[in-house]
Structure 1
Amino acid sequence: MTETSRSSHSLPLSLSESASPSGLWSRSFLALLVTQFTVALNDNILRWLFIPIGKDLVLQQLKESPDVARSVGSFVYLIPFILLAGWAGATSDRLSKRTVIIGAKVAEIIVMSLAIVAIVTSNVWGMAVVLFLAGCHSAFFSPAKYGSIPEIVGPKAISAANGLIGLTTMIAVIVGGSLGNILYSLTTLPNPELAQSRGLGPGQYRWWLNAVVLLGVATVGWLTSLSIKRLPAADPRRRIPINPFLQCYLDLKELCRHRILLLAAVGSTYFWTLGLLMQLTIDKLAVPELVGPHGQAYVGPMLGILTLGIGLGSMLAGVWSHGRIERGLVTFGALGITVVSLSFALLPAGTGEWNSWPYFLACGLLFLLGAAAGLYDIPLISLLQFESPAHERGRILAAYNFLSFTGMIMGSVIYWFLGSFLGLSARQMFVCAGLVTFPVFLVILYLAPIDTIRVLFGWFVRSFYRFRVVGIENIPASGPAIIVSNHLSWLDGMLIMLAMPRPIRMIAHVKYVSAPLISALAKRAGVITILPGAKSVALGIREARLALEKGELVGIFPEGGMTRTGQIRGFQPGFLKIARGLDVPIIPVYIDGLWGSVFTYSGGRYFWKWPKLFRLHTTLYVGQPLTGIREAWHAHLALCEFGAKIVSQ
């Protein structure tokens, strides 16, 4: 799997540096989408054309096993991402990312021309040089591509854009892998004796087909790159370092300064390490374990199904993020990888034929594995793009590339260790991957429990309620604000946390969060607890004011308890004491449609009543900031009028 195929709250989506984003379906983003598709397509055509050719030439010329061609080829292709990471990141910051992308496409045309020469001359070392140059091209293309996404689509579309990038890349992987194998079949005579008598090596019969496809795809990508809008250089004064290793060290040092970015980069690096290991293991699983020694043609469909699953997982990550970066999805992705990888232990032995139950079951497991992997990685990539400071984004992404490709090289080494040194079968290697991923899942769960719960709660709410949010644009992208809401049910606090595009610190009575586990989770979520009594209330007010001074959102239910009638109760003045002298906006929230559920006091009781047999239409409305609020009843009246206006619509 190559690059081109690849706090405890969800993050607020604000990106002030994108002054005029074009949007998700703009010509500029569509051009970027097609451009990166051609890069991924050509990358996989070249690799899967070179793999069988390289295995033949290594066996004929060097008398080495095909495993050598596979591992050395991966190493040669990936090493530029380590050697050139510093230059790539600096270039992406110094120049316009559009300029870098166009330049990379021109370089791709040159590299594909050299690939044809290497094939025609049967030069195995020339093929290695071409793979190295292809890696150089992708090393410069990658940070420019990922760094341009926030500048083109804007903050709210980052997750969706990455989902589309992931989906189209996976399609390119499927098509490219199939095309590469088809080109090998069309340009290689099946009879070795006939090929030798005619002096034709692998890939040389009708070699012009390779030239048409490789150069044609590269040219189309170059033409579409010209339609990407002009992007300003992030740091025009930045110097391109003479020593790329020094710059790489500085980039890694900069990455380490940002804890969230470092964790995301390490998490995504694990994804790519595992990805390369899985790719090589799939080839071993198919040939010879499932379809016999002559079943190379059936490796492509298995890789395609895996990448199709990754594309689906990427799309689901974009959809389930609901306009934010939902880090809790990473937890479920890691759990899915663990479970599916361990399931390969139950895969029956192959029959030597592709039209068999073991082959189809393996394809099904690979699809599920890919879906879990896509769900795992897309939030991490989005996090790196969004959280990276605009003037340092190229450096951050270059450091991430260094880590991820170092991980992929380690993946090839691990494959050699497990397969050649320990002699494990493909099934056993999948199981090893699952066993290693399980502690990764536990670490993620420990680091992001609230994000995980938020995702679970979101799935629950949207399964049993027709939940929507209206007026979310009234929440400021940055800076402090107090959210005042009516209080209908036990779900209200979680609904507000689910709806807000930024982390919010809710104020709650201590008795509701006093249980040990609940108390620990509330602390991780930043809940401000209060207990009736002058000292406790004063401490709660002080903590809320400190949160506002730090630019955070604070949520409160001014009624002081849940309604018993469905109507808004009188407001307590605590929220005014919190806001006194801070000049922060007070934003009303009205929750409508929950009354009558088991979580409300309708019918004179909580919980102990029959639930509704149909999904309630539940809406959380966010109003414009209130003005002229000097007394608690002013805010009460404003919220009642806001609610009445909503109900009357």
Structure 2
Amino acid sequence: MSQSSQFSLLSQRRFAPFFWTQFLGAFNDNLFKTALMVALTYDALSWTSLDPGLLNNLIPGLFILPYVVFSATAGQIADKVEKGRLARFVKLLEVAIMLVAGIGWMTHTLWLLIAAVVGMGVHSTLFGPVKYAYLPQHLKPEELVGGNGVVEMGTFVGILLGEVAGALLVSYRPVGIELVAGASLTMALIGLAASWRIPASPAPAPDLRINYNFVAESMRNLRFSAQNRTVFLSMLGNSWFWFYGALVLSQFPVYAKDYLHGDHSVFVLLLTVFSLGIGVGSLLCEKLSGRKVEIGLVPFGSIGLSLFGIDLYFASQAYTNTALVDAFALLATPGAARILVDLVLIGVFGGLFIVPLFALIQTRCDPQHVSRTIAGMNILNALFMVAAAGVAILLLGQGFSIPDMFLVTALLNAVVAVYIFSLVPEFLMRFLAWLLIHTIHRVATVDVERIPDAGPAVLVCNHVSYVDAIVIGAASPRPIRFVMDHRIFKMPLLGWIFRTAKAIPIAPAREDPFMMERAFIDIAQALHEGDLVCIFPEGKLTSTGDMNEFRGGIAKIVERSKVPVIPMALRGLWGSVFTRDPGNLFERSFSRGLRSKLALAVGMPVAPQEATPEYLYEQVRALRGEWK
């Protein structure tokens, strides 16, 4: 396996024991919950007189209730206590809970099993902040998206296998209940063994005084997270995904039985295709993002969640089979393939939606507050999932069918996505940039790691086309404030894109001296706040493909702000439809073909005292070479 592969982390102690501890926890949670829900769906009368549809929405709600109550405390504990030690405590707690559940299974006592559901919710609440705060401590920035992808893949594969195992074991008569009790205890013990291999992870705030008033601490956590607008809205986006997933997944048992007319194996098949889709989408994130936190994938994922959620409604309406089928018979039933494809693609786009959000939250929140930020997110997740259970119960009570609920969820997703992306235009801007460099162009990067992960710097680049800023922004691992000719802001689409990206308009001194001076003030302010600022020192697009001389603005910038200057060069854009190439526009549109190749090369940082226009020109010219 290549060292650059995200799967290589599974062979390293800094990642593997944590991964398997998390995987086994997810597996066991879902083995237990699914076994209980299947038993109550297909053998309800021997357990309770309550309606199975009500129980299938109530049990997930009870599981996540502890997230609301204990997440704030769990976040403080994770910031105060070494994470390996905390993981071992959580796994010991899981063993005790599975012993209680075993008694409930063997004595046919429903209230003990319900208590174990709540207990496993407490177990997951305590481990949640550890799960996502651990990764930034042990992974490099360029490994974070891949690591998150592997964890999300492992989580959903664990969920899948746990649900499959739970559904199969509990239906294995006459010893299904005994098999579930023994398997869940065994998995808890194996998870405990894995946790002893987790390496030391120093607590970021060992002197923190824990506030056990969970209401006050929850509100304080959320208020703190809300100070970072992008992080907080990403938390809301993450929680919305769990609302969507909880509302859809909780319907699967009844959907499989009453709408698809399937047995246990059909329910297992639905879980399988959905969870595999999530795993595939999570793993695709590293490749599609270029090993960086690419939030442009989030709108892409959201579009897929709505499109295929809507199609799932129509596919369900078109399904006409009324005969009892198992999984193999379902595959040959007319209309079933479309339903399964929709579920797979909802999962794939869900993975593309959620993994970049996790990575964004981890990289942009306060490093001293990661666990408590994750705890705040878990509180929101829990509230959204409780709301999902409430909405499902309400809609079922109003006479909505399960396919109707799929449609309502998909349409709500579209509304929520438009709202969030309008509040944080960076998501949409990065999405458009991602589309540009993955459809029209193939962009290679050379030494892009020279762009600093933190701190202020000025980027200087040759100016070849109207989309230079989009290409550079898509290749950068962090947001950039571009200095752009004010006339670009008047163009219908590009103007909107650059305004949403907080670009800085500038005009020549002879045209608007006030705007020019204001631009330099805004640049200095952006650098003072630690931002990256990119300028095109030529001051205009090339009309020949050759570079124009660099003007003196860069000298004025570094005189005010003593920050490093990073030369960059775009290669291969000249002659595209976005340039001022005087050749025939129609011919240029097709002569390069689809997916034409271009590159962005990044040079070594230049000290501010050496950053003269002439020296920077030579650096950029050398980086560009002869490939225009």
* Shared fold (TM-score, shorter chain, > 0.5): yes
Q: Is contact 2:41-2:254 (8 Å) kept?
A: no
After superposition, the Cα gap between the structure-2 partners of 1:447 and 1:246, relative to the gap in structure 1 and judged at 3 Å, is: closer
CA contact (8 A) 1:101 1:145 kept: no
- Alignment-derived partner of residue 410 in structure 2: 434
1:277 maps to 247
Residue aligning to 1:334: 302
Shifted more, 57-66 versus 370-379: the winner is: 57-66
Show the counterpart of 2:565: 586
Aligned match of 1:532: 508
- Structure 2 residue aligned with 1:84, among 60, 70, 79? 70
Structure 2 CA distance for aligned equivalents of residues 454 and 260 of structure 1:
14
SS in 1 for 2:599: strand
For residue 235 of structure 1, give the secondary structure of its aligned residue in structure 2: coil
| Residue 262 (structure 1) aligned with residue 239 (structure 2) | no
Find the partner of 2:186 among 196, 200, 216.
Answer: 216
Equivalent residue number for residue 553 of structure 1: 532
Match of residue 366 from structure 1: 343
Q: What whole-Å deviation, never above 9, does each CA across 1:298-357 have from its counterpart, x for those lacking one? A: 111102211211222222333323233222322222222222222233221341332412
Unaligned runs of 5+ in 1: 1-21, 190-201
Aligned to 1:479: 455
251-260 or 306-315, which moves further after superposition?
A: 251-260
Deviation digits for residues 555-575 of structure 1 (CA, Å, limit 9, x no counterpart): 122222233443322221121
Q: Distance in 1 between matches of 2:467 and 2:617?
A: 21
Code of the aligned partner of 1:373 = G
Check 1:34–1:513 CA distance in 2 against 1; reply closer, same or farther (3 A cut). same
Residue 149 of structure 2 corresponds to residue 163 of structure 1 = yes
Aligned residue runs from structure 1 range 73-152, under 5 A: 73-152=59-138
Instruction: Give the partner amino acid of 1:476.
Output: P
Question: Residues 160-559 of structure 1: matches in 2 within 5 Å?
Answer: 160-186=146-172, 188-189=173-174, 203-204=176-177, 207=178, 209-291=179-261, 295-347=263-315, 348-351=318-321, 352=323, 353=325, 354=330, 355-419=332-396, 421-534=397-510, 535=513, 536-559=515-538
Quick one: structure 1 residues 643 and 329, their matched pair in 2 at CA, closer, same or farther if it must change by over 3 Å?
closer
Pick aligned residue for 1:632 from 601, 605, 613: 613
- For the Cα contact (< 8 Å) 1:57–1:122, is it kept in 2? no
Q: Distance in 1 between matches of 2:611 and 2:247?
A: 64
Shift in CA distance, 308/490, structure 1 to aligned 2, threshold 3 Å: same
Question: Within 2, Cα distance between the matches of 1:61 and 1:45?
Answer: 18
Partner of 2:545: 566
Is the alpha carbon distance of 1:391 and 1:557 closer, same or farther for their aligned partners in structure 2, counting shifts above 3 Å? closer
SS at match of 1:619: strand
Over 3 Å counting, the alpha-carbon distance change for 1:598 and 1:62 in structure 2 is closer
Assess, with a 3 A threshold, how the Cα gap between structure 1 residues 407 and 468 changes in structure 2: closer, same or farther. same
Q: CA-to-partner distance for each residue in 1:341-380, whole Å, 9 max, x for gaps? A: 2223322134133241233321111111122222222222
Is the Cα contact below 8 Å between 1:24 and 1:161 reproduced in 2? Answer: no
3-state SS of paired residue (1:568): coil
- SS for the counterpart of 1:482 is strand
Q: Distance in 1 between matches of 2:522 and 2:227?
A: 27
CA pair 639-270 structure 1, distance change in 2 beyond 3 A: closer
Is there any run of 5+ residues in structure 2 with no aligned partner, and where?
1-7
Q: In the TM superposition, what is the alpha-carbon distance from 1:92 to its structure 2 partner? A: 0.7
Structure 2 CA distance, aligned partners of 1:457 and 1:86? 37
Partner Cα distance (1:638, 1:432) in 2: 56
Deviations 1:500-555 (A, max 9, x none): 22222222222233135543432221222222234143332332223222222221
Equivalent position SS for 2:251: helix
- Give the conservation status (yes or no) of the 8 Å contact 2:41–2:253: no
Distance 2:295 2:405 in 1: 28
Sort the Cα spacing of 1:553 and 1:606 in 2 relative to 1 into closer, same or farther, 3 A: farther
Whether contact under 8 Å (2:565, 2:611) holds in the other structure is no
Per-residue CA shift, 1:388-408, capped at 9, x if unaligned? 222222222112111211211
Q: Is the CA contact 1:468–1:618 (under 8 Å) kept in the aligned structure 2? A: yes
> Secondary structure of 1:91's match?
helix
Contact persistence 2:274–2:343 (CA under 8 A): yes
Alignment correspondent of 1:26:
12
SS at match of 2:306: helix
**Counterpart secondary structure, 2:610:** coil
Partner of 2:599: 619
CA distance in 1, matches of 2:41, 2:595: 59
Residue 203 of structure 1 deviates from its aligned partner by 3.7
Whichever residue aligns with residue 512 of structure 1, its letter is: I
2: CA distance, partners of 1:255 / 1:507: 30
* Equivalent residue pairs, number: 607
Aligned partner letter, 2:601 = Y
How far has the Cα of 1:119 moved from its partner?
1.0
Change (3 A) 1:25 1:604: farther
Q: Are the structure 2 counterparts of residues 83 and 517 from structure 1 closer, same or farther at C-alpha, using a change threshold of 3 Å?
A: same
* Comparing 51-60 and 489-498, the one that deviates more: 51-60
Aligned to 2:4: none
Cα distance in 2 for partners of 1:551, 1:133 equals: 45
Asked if the contact 2:293–2:477 (Cα under 8 Å) also holds between the matched residues in 1, the reply is no
Percent identity reads: 28
Q: What does the per-residue CA deviation read over 1:221-279, in whole Å, with 9 as the maximum and x for residues that have no partner?
A: 22222222101012111223343333223323323333223212222222112211101
Cα distance in 2 for residues equivalent to 1:517 and 1:143: 41
Q: Provide the rounded CA distance (Å) in 2 between the counterparts of 1:604 and 1:53.
A: 71
1:52 Cα deviation after fit = 2.8
Question: What TM-score does the superposition give when structure 2 sets the normalisation length?
Answer: 0.90
Report the Cα distance in structure 2 between the residues aligned to 1:446 and 1:242, rounded to whole angstroms. 37
AA matched with 2:377: Y
8 A contact 1:32–1:228 mirrored in 2: yes
Query: Quick one: which amino acid aligns to residue 427 of structure 1?
Result: P
Give 1:144 shift: 0.9
| Structure-2 residue corresponding to 1:196 | none
2:139–2:147 CA contact under 8 A, matched in 1: yes
- Equivalent-residue separation in structure 2 for 1:418 and 1:219 (angstroms): 40
TM-score by length of 1: 0.87
Alpha-carbon spacing, 1:99–1:416, altered in 2? closer, same or farther (3 Å): same
Q: What does residue range 16-95 of structure 1 map to in structure 2 within 5 Å?
A: 26-55=12-41, 59-95=45-81
| Contact 2:87/2:127 (<8 A) preserved | yes
Structure 1: distance between partners of 2:594 and 2:347: 34
Q: Take 2:442 and 2:150, find their aligned partners in 1: how far apart are those partners?
A: 26
